Amino acid sequence: MSAQTTTRRLTQLDLAKLRASGEKVAMFTCYDASFARLLDGAGVDSLLVGDSLGMVVQGHDSTLPVSVADIAYHVAAVKRGSDRPFLIADMPFGSYQESPAQAFRNAAALMAAGAQMVKLEGGREMAPTVEFLVQRGIPVCGHIGLTPQSVHALGGYKVQGKGEEAARRLQDDALALQAAGATLLVLEAIPAPLAAAVTAALHIVTIGIGAGVDCSGQVLVLHDVFDIPPGKKAKFVRNFMAGASSIADAAARAVTAIKDGSYPAPEHTYAP
Ligand code: KIV
């Protein structure tokens, strides 16, 4: 049975099979049971309970105030609302950086809430933590490039990996995370050719957001897909409500656009 026709809950092995078969992985962020049901019906492969919930649900101006309890609450809701998509929980700021043992404690709480994998931000410096979690049965998704939890260190939400030195560092980070046992890797806001090179150099699944079409899949922030709220959006955002007959139709169009490679288009990508 292919991942597309499977009705049981997908696993990380199914996502790996999608990469191997050349089919793009369609991932959306999701925070509640109703949208989880709608996105499951639209055919998404994976739902990420992202710490973006701090901004789009809680109204903060960054992801920094989100707690483990917040993510666990939303993971449980998303799990109740969905049957098939692979569920990933974001580890919030301050919940994993202190030590691998701290990361394990908090990741275990998110797995107990219903997640099948946790995501954490950072490059080679997080490799020992990734290895610690993976060796103890917790699958890990890395997240490099623009890492929103470091917004103050980065000096704003800026494109990363520009220039030879930065590109080389990012590539090394990706290899270090893969070697540590990460099985998914989010690449956020980096030049498209760099994301393509990183994807080609890795065997694990890469998920782009503002990283061009050559990743193994894409993650879309729910509120961006439906153009909520209106206002200035990042260059990589496409309003899938335009021309759609309903939000379910918009979600289905987004999945189709990821799968057929028409999203992201060149106008959604960053130059080196
Ligand atoms: O929190 C989030 O929504 C994310 C995605 C942007 C990848 O981390």
DSSP per-residue codes, 128-147: HHHHHHHHTT--EEEEEES-
Residue of 227, 213, 191, 217 whose CA lies nearest to 56? 227
Q: Which of 95, 188, 233 to mutate to test the pocket of ligand 1 (most atoms within 8 A of CB)?
A: 188
Q: Is 145 in the pocket of ligand 1 (CB under 6 A)?
A: no
Residue of 103, 104, 170, 110 whose CA lies nearest to 143? 170
Q: Is 221 in the pocket of ligand 1 (CB under 6 A)?
A: yes
Q: Closest ligand 1 atom, CA of 29?
A: 3
Quick one: fold of 12-268? TIM Barrel (3.20.20)
- For the chain, domain boundaries: 12-268
Residue 106, both tokens: 């908090």
Q: Count CB-CB contacts under 10 A for residue 90.
A: 32
Distance CA 270, CA 190 (A): 7
**Residue located nearest, by CA, to atom 2 of ligand 1:** 50
- pLDDT at residue number 1: 47
Distance (angstroms) between ligand 1 centre and the Cα of 90 equals 8
Catalytic option among 164, 165, 188, 267: 188
Distance CA 248, CA 35 (A): 9
Distance CA 2, CA 162 (A): 38
Give the pLDDT confidence of 13-47 residue by residue, as tens digits.
Answer: 999 999 999 999 999 999 999 999 999 999 999 99
Residue 65, both tokens: 């105030």
Helix, strand or coil, per DSSP, at residue 261 = coil
**Residue located nearest, by CA, to atom 4 of ligand 1:** 50
Distance (angstroms) between ligand 1 centre and the Cα of 50 equals 5
Distance (angstroms) between ligand 1 centre and the Cα of 256 equals 21
Q: Closest ligand 1 atom, CA of 51?
A: 1
Distance CA 46, CA 40 (A): 9
Distance CA 72, CA 112 (A): 8
Q: Is 209 in the pocket of ligand 1 (CB under 6 A)?
A: yes
Distance (angstroms) between ligand 1 centre and the Cα of 159 equals 15
Is this model's pTM higher than 0.95 or not?
A: yes
Q: Is 164 a catalytic residue?
A: no
Distance (angstroms) between ligand 1 centre and the Cα of 112 equals 21
Distance CA 102, CA 257 (A): 39
Q: What is the pLDDT along the chain (272 residues), one digit of tens a residue?
A: 455 667 899 999 999 999 999 999 999 999 999 999 999 999 999 999 999 999 999 999 999 999 999 999 999 999 999 999 999 999 999 999 999 999 999 999 999 999 999 999 999 999 999 999 999 999 999 999 999 999 999 999 999 999 999 999 999 999 999 999 999 999 999 999 999 999 999 999 999 999 999 999 999 999 999 999 766 789 999 999 999 999 999 999 999 999 999 999 999 999 88
Distance CA 149, CA 41 (A): 31
